[in-house]
Amino acid sequence: MTGTATGTAKAGSPLRIGNASGFYGDRFDAMREMLTGGDLDVLTGDYLAELTMLILARDRLKNPDAGYARTFLRQLEECLGLAHERGVRIVSNAGGLNPAGLADAVRKLAAEIGVPVRVAHVEGDDLTAAHPGALAAHAYLGGFGIAACLREGADVVVTGRVTDAALVTGPAAARFGWTPDDHDELAGAVIAGHVLECGTQATGGNYSFFRDGDVRHPGFPLAEIHADGSSVITKHPGTGGFVDTGTVTAQLLYETGGARYAGPDVTARLDTVRLTRDGTDRVRIDGVRGEAPPPVLKAGLNRLGGFRNEVVFVLTGLDIEAKAELVRAQMGEALAKSPPAEVRWDLVRTDRPDAGTEETASALLRLVVRDADEAKVGRALSGAAIELALASYPGFHVLSPPGKGSPYGVFEAAYVPQDAVDHTAVLHDGRRIPVPPPADTAPLTDVPEPPLPEPLPAGPTRRAPLGVVAGARSGDKGGNANVGVWAVSDPAWRWLAHHLTAERFRELIPEAAGLPVTRHVLPNLRALNFVVEGILGAGVAAQHRFDPQAKALGEWLRSRHLDIPEVLL
């Protein structure tokens, strides 16, 4: 297999990096679509998330040889030959908790199907032994281990826990000869990698203004990266979805915090990003400035948090509140006999008066219990709920039979010195190349808030949803959530920057009322980014709230009504 990641492409030509996976479970056919849809130099796949690491850890408990994304191997059965024919190199973090095991499995597969490829892997992220009680503890590595593998001729590189953007910075550093001191160039690649990492979220998927294009089957994105770190985000011709400054802005704001976007290779300045349209389905990213990375690496720790159980009672017709009060009292007596550590009730008013169907006449009363002792959330709870079947509110039934309870996970972030990991590129011939930590680092500090634009002149307002003048995208980082909000026009930005304060955010999102909320201002993107601490409890695996990853928190915010200047409407 020949590729262009190590500099064999025509001088001055961009490096074309595509993405074929945004998570473990993404569209299976995407790898084939990306290999056959147009020219590529490198194809990446992101399979890891906080929850995925816990899933893989539980797989490894059952089978020590497991711990990697098996879907990736099945995709290669169909596509490794295609990649070889087209000279496309493949870089993926599908190795999960066992990159060496996946690399061996890829070599075995390649031999079976007769495709001559050189397979390398990156290791050093696994810190589990240093964290007793953790099912998995892994540092987020950067891209220079990937770069070392590609420079030494690897055709397929699999990694464990690297940053999502490292799948792009690694090939770019290999192709253009960047060193750890090339902060601006690396930062540009980090931004391109952040846009690509969630796949079709950059091409109209999960997009506030999805009606602007046909997103029934969005194509996966690719980036044309240049030697100076600038890039163009696009997609293969003829594929679905669309790429514009809005889709790219939405993804740039996803799961970020302030103006400094820190990683193991570089700290990218989000407040320097410039987006310009470069033709149909093409958005240019340039102007990105980089700074030395922090002296520490983030590490994700996953452990068993305890056990949980859930019962959803269906309340239909009249007297919804009284029916809910009755069942709470009845279940309270049962719970008092052996109280779980956490008991949570939520009444979801999905009912309507004079409804035309039974379903739309019904509300849902959700009971969730958690405890370290499985017995306190198991059959005793389920039995108490079922025993009410003929002895509670009229029309009693539940959405599904209560179970015996199930384990849940807890995610914690920790930080270790850059030199505390043995970042290593393991080549196809068994050679091991150590990847040293960056010599230049800088502690992460906040950027002072930039000047706000001139406010709009006073004028008449009208009550309307925020989403009329702004888009949003939200996501999770451990127990915190972020909500990025961007204005659709310069006048809307002048209003949004002054009106949507952290205090107003808490008013619109009552769940955040008692929590720390930090607002970050990004004028280049006409955007505000809100970080809400603790709203997700102990992370997605703990299922703390109805939307455990805060995926729809931004859309809830857009649906809230404010007094918006009529000139914007």
Q: Print pLDDT tens along the chain (569 aa).
A: 544 444 344 557 999 999 999 999 999 999 999 999 999 999 999 999 888 998 999 899 899 999 999 999 999 999 999 999 999 999 999 999 999 999 999 999 999 999 999 999 999 999 999 999 999 999 999 999 999 999 999 999 999 999 999 999 999 999 999 999 999 999 999 999 999 999 999 999 999 999 999 999 999 999 999 999 999 999 999 999 999 999 999 999 999 999 999 999 999 999 999 999 999 999 999 999 999 999 999 999 999 889 999 999 999 999 999 999 999 999 998 889 889 999 999 999 999 999 999 999 999 999 999 999 998 998 778 888 989 999 999 999 999 887 888 888 888 899 999 999 999 999 999 999 999 999 999 999 999 999 999 999 999 999 999 999 999 999 988 889 999 999 999 999 999 999 999 999 999 999 999 999 999 999 999 999 999 999 988 776 667 777 889 999 999 999 999 999 999 99
8 A C-beta contact, residue 75 and residue 83: no
Gap between the Cα atoms of 316 and 567, Å rounded: 44
Of the CA atoms within 13 Å of residue 339, those in its CB half-sphere come to 7
Q: Position of tokens 């985000």?
A: 233
- Where in the sequence of the chain do the CATH 3.30.70.360 domains occur? 301-404
CB-CB neighbours of 456 under 10 Å: 17
- Alpha-helical (H) ranges within 114-253 are 144-151, 166-176, 183-196, 245-252
Q: For the chain, how far is it from start to end, CA to CA, in angstroms?
A: 56
CATH number of 301-404: 3.30.70.360
